[in-house]
């Protein structure tokens, strides 16, 4: 049974093997991410797969937000900044950069102490949905933040070539 990611790629009508190759994801991992509900994408996998698929489908960057909504519809949607809106700008800036880990974990639905485990290199399992929830809670542009973290993905010639094959899964 397809995962939400698999359903989204099916809806776009892109050739998953082209997406996989351009996103630099191993075949078995791509299969799991598309078909096994227990397989959860890392932030980098999610960004690369979804962005490549959007480009191969000939869609604009603005579709990335729709993809997030479709793939993670039940994610927590909380703000980490709303309660500070009444404060002066410089205090809001400080608060934004000194948030307590427990508050962040609670607001974005992350297990307790997971940030500490990640920072202390005792865990490498940051999930795409967790990072997305954090970005949204901080009012960051999700796609721009992914680009800042992992770099821009350039697919000029591949997109033109693969667009001709869309719909021929």
Instruction: Identify the residue whose tokens are 């205090």.
Output: 91
User: For 6-64, how does the pLDDT look when each residue is reduced to its tens digit (9 = 90+)?
Assistant: 999 999 999 999 999 999 999 999 999 999 999 999 999 999 999 999 999 999 999 99
CB 80 within 8 A of CB 107: yes
Which of these, 135, 143, 150, 156, lies nearest to 45 by C-alpha position? 150
Domain ranges of the chain: 4-76+143-163, 82-140
Q: How confident is the model at residue 166 (pLDDT cuts 50, 70, 90)?
A: very low
Q: How confident is the model at residue 168 (pLDDT cuts 50, 70, 90)?
A: very low
Quick check: 156 pLDDT over 70? no
Q: Taking the CA of residue 155 as centre, how many other CA atoms within 13 Å lie in the half-sphere pointing to its CB?
A: 28
User: For 57-88, how does the pLDDT look when each residue is reduced to its tens digit (9 = 90+)?
Assistant: 999 999 999 999 999 999 999 888 888 889 99
SS3 147: helix
């Amino acid at each position: 049974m397809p995962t939400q990611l698999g359903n989204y790629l099916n809806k776009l009508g892109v050739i998953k093997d082209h997406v996989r190759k351009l996103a630099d994801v191993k075949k078995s991992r791509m299969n799991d991410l598309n078909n096994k509900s227990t397989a959860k994408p890392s932030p980098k996998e999610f960004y690369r797969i979804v962005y490549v698929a959007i480009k191969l489908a000939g869609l604009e960057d603005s579709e990335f937000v729709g993809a997030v909504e479709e793939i993670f519809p039940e994610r927590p949607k909380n703000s980490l900044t709303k309660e500070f809106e009444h404060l002066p700008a410089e205090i809001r800036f400080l608060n934004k950069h000194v948030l307590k880990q427990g508050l962040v974990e609670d607001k974005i639905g992350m297990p307790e102490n997971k940030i500490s485990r990640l920072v202390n290199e005792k865990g490498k399992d940051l999930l795409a949905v967790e990072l997305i929830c954090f970005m949204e809670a901080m009012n960051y542009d999700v796609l721009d933040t992914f680009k800042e973290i992992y770099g821009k993905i350039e697919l000029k010639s591949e997109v033109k070539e693969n667009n001709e094959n869309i719909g021929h899964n």
